[in-house]
Amino acid sequence: MNYHKLKENKIAIIGLGYVGLPLAVEFAKSNFNVIGFDINSLRIEELCKGVDFTNEVSEEELHSIDSVCFTTDEKELSSANIYIVTVPTPIDQFKQPDLKPLKGASQLVGKYLSKNDVVIFESTVFPGCTEEICVPILEEYSELKYNSDFFCGYSPERINPGDKIRRVHNIVKVTSGSNEKIAELVNKLYASIVTAGTHKASSIKVAEAAKIIENTQRDLNISFVNELALIFDRMDIDTLEVLEAAGTKWNFLPFRPGLVGGHCIGVDPFYLTHKAESLGYHPQVILSGRKINDEMGVHIANKIVKLMVKEGHRVKNAKALVLGITFKENCPDIRNSKVIDVINELKEFGMSVDVFDPHADPTEVANEYDIKLTKSIEDKYDTVVLTVGHREFMDLDISALGNPNAIIYDVKSFLPKNLVTDRL
């Protein structure tokens, strides 16, 4: 490890998804020697051809960098001095942290650690996870001693999938290290690629906690407006009009109701509540907000059925079209998409549901949700439900997609109000 000349070190990025790939590219742009490692051989083949299915990095960018070695060969990791772990941290079916990818990555890195190497984690975890879970694994597999033979840092990712404005280089980066010297090293490392600046936290735990509350705060704010939507629906008041009116006050926060999915906001709060419960504290506000957000898909489907009955539609065997299955607009990420809750509930009522999404990968959707995406919209439907605000949907003639008196429901308040029957 060269502490004085950072760029003489070799960086290994473990996991080349939405977080790892853009990070690897930024380091390569700054002339670092980078190993991009992933266990998915197809992913590596595509990246070598200049193809990124996440659409986070362009073909031109991939072809323009020559200081990255994309590989599935773990032996390549032995030449690295700095390891950055960017693997997913999902939850299981019981909404508990699933640390298998993180533990696996720690085992892998531990096998190739050398004296004075630094391991930096970017994956979202609960406070204490790095030093309580990952470090013992690194020690076991490397037979080296923490903070004596090797060191750790934590710098939480802040990637916003599909966002072409906020990128790795222009989002402030929180950094931390296992001692003062390593904290400064980690901070300098990221400061070399992040033009927006860095914030050096006092400890790894503080950095972990900062990350986990970023998304928990957003989750709670959205749950508040979701609850408002549930209340105003019973009062026959348009929620968006209320929010727009309230938004004229300078300090009113502009959150909107909707489906809260994805790999971050719909997952991270459970990491925090898991840790809190292990310490004997049962979080009430956080879990209450999660409950509201998790139930919105069922509420939306039930609202659609009520509107159909009101208009005299037969619900059983009715044909429904759902526009969008990714967790957010203009990106292909389908992880933890809450659109599936709407689809499944409509099917429970006996409806035939077609799903159209120009951004989602059909194979991935089939594998994850057992749904065959509609390639083109050629049918007429009893109800059309816009669940994701993809830019392509702006060009659709929504009214032409439905049968007479079809229910058009807009989850995102994306369409002109005069074109829809109702909106969330």
Instruction: Tell me the backbone φ, ψ of residue 8, rounded to 5 degrees.
Output: -85, -10
pLDDT at 2 over 70: no
Mean pLDDT of 320-336: 95
- The CATH code of domain 6-212 reads 3.40.50.720
pLDDT at 4 over 80: no
Note the Cα 344 to chain centre separation in Å.
22
pLDDT at 8 over 70: yes
Determine contact, residues 196/202, Cβ cutoff 8 Å: no
Structure token pair of residue 55: 């659409």
Predicted confidence at residue 242, as pLDDT, reads 97
Structure token pair of residue 352: 């035939």
pLDDT at 5 over 80: no
State the alpha helices, DSSP H only, in 237-295.
Answer: 239-246, 268-278, 285-294
What single-letter amino acid sits at 83?
Y
Determine contact, residues 294/418, Cβ cutoff 8 Å: no
pLDDT at 163 over 90: no
Residue ranges of domains in the chain? 6-212, 224-423
pLDDT at 3 over 70: no
Q: What is the pLDDT of residues 280-322, one digit of tens each?
A: 999 999 999 999 999 999 999 999 999 999 999 999 999 999 9
CA distance 351 to 324: 17
Q: Nearest-CA neighbor of 119 among 189, 221, 224?
A: 189
Using 50, 70 and 90 to split pLDDT, how confident is the model at 162? Answer: confident
CA distance 278 to 274: 6
Beta bridge partners of 35: 12, 69
State the alpha helices, DSSP H only, in 162-317.
Answer: 180-191, 204-234, 239-246, 268-278, 285-294, 296-310
Q: Nearest-CA neighbor of 383 among 328, 330, 295, 311?
A: 311
State which fold the 224-423 domain adopts: Rossmann fold (3.40.50)
Same fold, 6-212 and 224-423: yes
Mean pLDDT of 232-237: 96
Known catalytic residue: 134? no
Sheet architecture: strand order including 402-410: 352-356, 319-323, 381-386, 402-410, 422-423
Instruction: Tell me the backbone φ, ψ of residue 299, rounded to 5 degrees.
Output: -60, -45
Side-chain half-sphere of 110: how many Cα atoms within 13 Å?
20
Radius of gyration of the chain (CA): 23
Mean pLDDT of 116-137: 98
Predicted confidence at residue 375, as pLDDT, reads 92
Q: What is the pLDDT of residues 367-383, one digit of tens each?
A: 999 999 999 998 999 99
Mean pLDDT of 342-368: 97
Structure token pair of residue 235: 């009062």
Give the DSSP letter of residue 360: S
pLDDT at 17 over 90: yes
Mean pLDDT of 79-100: 96
Using 50, 70 and 90 to split pLDDT, how confident is the model at 67? Answer: confident
134, 152, 264, 331: which one is catalytic? 264
Predicted confidence at residue 248, as pLDDT, reads 98
State the alpha helices, DSSP H only, in 77-123.
Answer: 100-112
Task: Tell whether the torsion through CA atoms of 92, 94, 97 and 103 is positive or negative.
Answer: negative
Angle at which helices 239-246 and 204-234 pack, to 10 degrees?
120
Mean pLDDT of 185-195: 96
Q: Nearest-CA neighbor of 356 among 336, 378, 338, 331?
A: 378
Average pLDDT, the chain: 95
pLDDT at 262 over 90: no
Length of the chain: 424
Find all residues with CB under 8 Å of 356, minimum gap 6, and list them.
321, 322, 323, 324, 373, 374, 376, 377
Task: Tell whether the torsion through CA atoms of 174, 108, 77 and 51 is positive or negative.
Answer: negative
Give the DSSP letter of residue 351: -
- In the chain, the largest separation of any two C-alpha atoms, in whole Å, equals 74
- Among residues of the chain, what percentage have pLDDT more than 70? 99
pLDDT at 104 over 80: yes
